[in-house]
Structure 1
Amino acid sequence: MKFKFNISLFILCVFFQLKTLAGIVILNGLSHIHETNTGSVITGKIRVQNNGTTESKILIYSEDLILSCDKQSDYKNINSHERSSGGWTKLNIEEKTLQENEIYDIWYTINVPENVKGSYWSVIMIEGSKPVKEEINNGIKIDSKVRYAVQVITNVGIPESPKLTFEDTKLTVVDSVQVLNIKLKNSDIFLSKTKINIEIFDNNGKQIKNFETIQKKIYPDKCAVFEVKLLDLPIGKYTGIIMADNGKDLFGSNLSLDIH
């Protein structure tokens, strides 16, 4: 006797800038940041389009984005962490069928409570109801679906000077390329958008290289890891300065490198 099982897998689009899959397009970004005060009401929208050749049904719901300095990110029910804004967020619709080339605005409302301060966040999931790929392997049917995790961040109050610290710095080799991994922690209550600059000096103190990363969001009491490929840096010993730049303040750390 053979049994057929149906397993659904999700292709998730979240931190990278992939905005189109399986006919559904997010037109106004995968990250929405609101600046506000306590007791306020915020409205926002996520603009979606079906650029496929047939109608497409989408499901819309809120979840929490769970972050950690030592574990991979995860998604759970709302109010799963102390800085969740999922319970404040209301959606105007839970499902929608989009016709070919139709554009639709998903509206959300955030009711900010009194006596809160700092950054709060959740995600709005937009999930295609139809599989983008179906496979049958040994009697098991696997459906692959697409869903977008749109981050909605609410900054309540006026940010003070951020509190960023360098937690760890490691030099690794990936595909014969020296890669410097820098873990940065945000001990503040506000999110910090930060990039890393690295200045490399030779034994004579002359600057010979400068590296810069893309900007990343570092959530309150969480970490971000920046990977810097040390390209075209010959074998030898070097000193350097690592600078974390959030657009307002610079945080520095000394660096010693032995490239071999």
Structure 2
Amino acid sequence: MIKRILLLITLMLQFSFLHAGIVVLNGLTHSYKIENGKVYKGTIAIENTGNSSQNVKLFLQDLSYHADGTINYTTIRTNKRTNGDWIKLNTNLVTLKAKEKTEVFYEITVPNQTVDPGSYWSVIIVEPVEDIKPSDNKPGVNITSVIRYAIQVITDFETEKAKPDLTFESVKVEKEEGKQTVKIAIANTGTLYCKPTASIEIFNRKTGQKIGTYSSVTMSLLPSTSKTFSIDISKVPPDKYTATIMTTDEEENAFALNVELEVKND
């Protein structure tokens, strides 16, 4: 139950901008290939789809996440590969009239000194600021909770000298929404951001006959983070199998693991 709640929170963070009064128009991931001493410019496009004026504040935080579903937003410099000190926003507060759009600008100033190859990142938090309203029912005030939107700013430096290093933390077969599902926890212990896909080839343990190949959706994976990749194997009959699990990123870096797999009736 806890994992499902954490997953729901993750989905809310990723997709809530579609439903709220404040909408981020140009995506939640901004990526740059950078060089020492250079300056890069970006924008955050925001719209107030509501019928009343809305204040919005913006600020920087570090981000990490793990395969158990936890997401950590922390102060800048918590992450040793943060780029938060390189980013400056042109404003930290905007007020949007009903149906109004605006753009907030930011600059990324890459240090002149030597930077280790790989990915650096932080997030720009976009948070609607609700007015504090007097309560009609009891003393004090009511503060309306709001959902914050996290825009990842990822900067890749000398990618030819860095690489992701994907490792398998755990493999489990669980029932999810009535379907047998392989849950593969994958960590990126390298220094480069990547977008891997997990797949599994399943074989009859006695005959070696291939039963099938099944794949997950592609997900992004920052260095020193992990995620759980889910693969639907509901078409595989209950039995004991051998299997090869592979994860491949967009640059065709591949990592494999051989496992024993049991698919149960329940």
Distance 2:97 2:48 in 1: 7
Is residue 132 of structure 2 the alignment partner of residue 127 of structure 1?
A: no
1:87-138 Cα deviation digits (max 9, x unpaired)? 111001111111222221111111111211211111101111127xx99999
Match of 1:101 in 2: 99
Structure ranking higher in strand proportion: 1
Residue 244 (structure 1) shift: 0.5
Match of 2:5 in 1: none
Match of 2:42 in 1: 44
Question: Cα distance 1:28–1:161, how it changes in 2: closer, same or farther (>3 A)?
Answer: same
Residue 195 (structure 1) shift: 1.0
Residue 65 (structure 1) shift: 1.1
Residue 149 (structure 1) shift: 0.8
Match of 2:257 in 1: 253
Match of 1:153 in 2: 154
Q: 2:242 aligns with which of 230, 239, 243?
A: 239
Is residue 209 of structure 2 the alignment partner of residue 210 of structure 1?
A: no
Asked if 1 retains the 8 angstrom alpha-carbon contact of 2:163 and 2:192, the reply is no
Match of 1:181 in 2: 183
Asked if 2 retains the 8 angstrom alpha-carbon contact of 1:14 and 1:149, the reply is no
Distance 2:261 2:10 in 1: 37
Equivalent positions of 1:6-45 (< 5 A) are 16-45=14-43
Distance 2:39 2:99 in 1: 32
Is residue 78 of structure 2 the alignment partner of residue 77 of structure 1?
A: no
Structure ranking higher in helix proportion: 2
TM-score, normalised to structure 2, is: 0.83
Question: Cα distance 1:15–1:195, how it changes in 2: closer, same or farther (>3 A)?
Answer: farther
Distance 1:63 1:170 in 2: 33
Distance 1:126 1:12 in 2: 16
Q: 1:110 aligns with which of 101, 108, 111?
A: 108
Q: What SS is found at the alignment partner of 1:145? A: coil
Distance 2:176 2:10 in 1: 25
Distance 1:40 1:122 in 2: 18
Report % sequence identity.
Answer: 32
Asked if 2 retains the 8 angstrom alpha-carbon contact of 1:38 and 1:157, the reply is no
Distance 1:50 1:147 in 2: 14
Asked if 2 retains the 8 angstrom alpha-carbon contact of 1:13 and 1:19, the reply is no
Distance 1:105 1:233 in 2: 50
Cα RMSD between the aligned structures?
2.8
One-letter identity of the residue aligned with 2:263: I
- For structure 1, list consecutive stretches of 5 or more residues without a partner in the other structure: 1-10
Asked if 2 retains the 8 angstrom alpha-carbon contact of 1:194 and 1:215, the reply is yes
Asked if 2 retains the 8 angstrom alpha-carbon contact of 1:14 and 1:150, the reply is no
Asked if 2 retains the 8 angstrom alpha-carbon contact of 1:126 and 1:149, the reply is yes
Q: 1:221 aligns with which of 220, 224, 227?
A: 224
Q: What SS is found at the alignment partner of 1:19? A: helix
Residue 34 (structure 1) shift: 0.9
- For structure 2, list consecutive stretches of 5 or more residues without a partner in the other structure: 1-8
Match of 2:202 in 1: 200
Residue 86 (structure 1) shift: 1.0
Question: Cα distance 1:210–1:125, how it changes in 2: closer, same or farther (>3 A)?
Answer: same
Match of 1:5 in 2: none
Residue 178 (structure 1) shift: 2.4
Distance 1:19 1:145 in 2: 11
Asked if 2 retains the 8 angstrom alpha-carbon contact of 1:124 and 1:150, the reply is yes
Distance 2:231 2:150 in 1: 26
Asked if 2 retains the 8 angstrom alpha-carbon contact of 1:182 and 1:225, the reply is yes
Asked if 2 retains the 8 angstrom alpha-carbon contact of 1:197 and 1:213, the reply is yes
Residue 233 (structure 1) shift: 1.9
One-letter identity of the residue aligned with 2:260: S
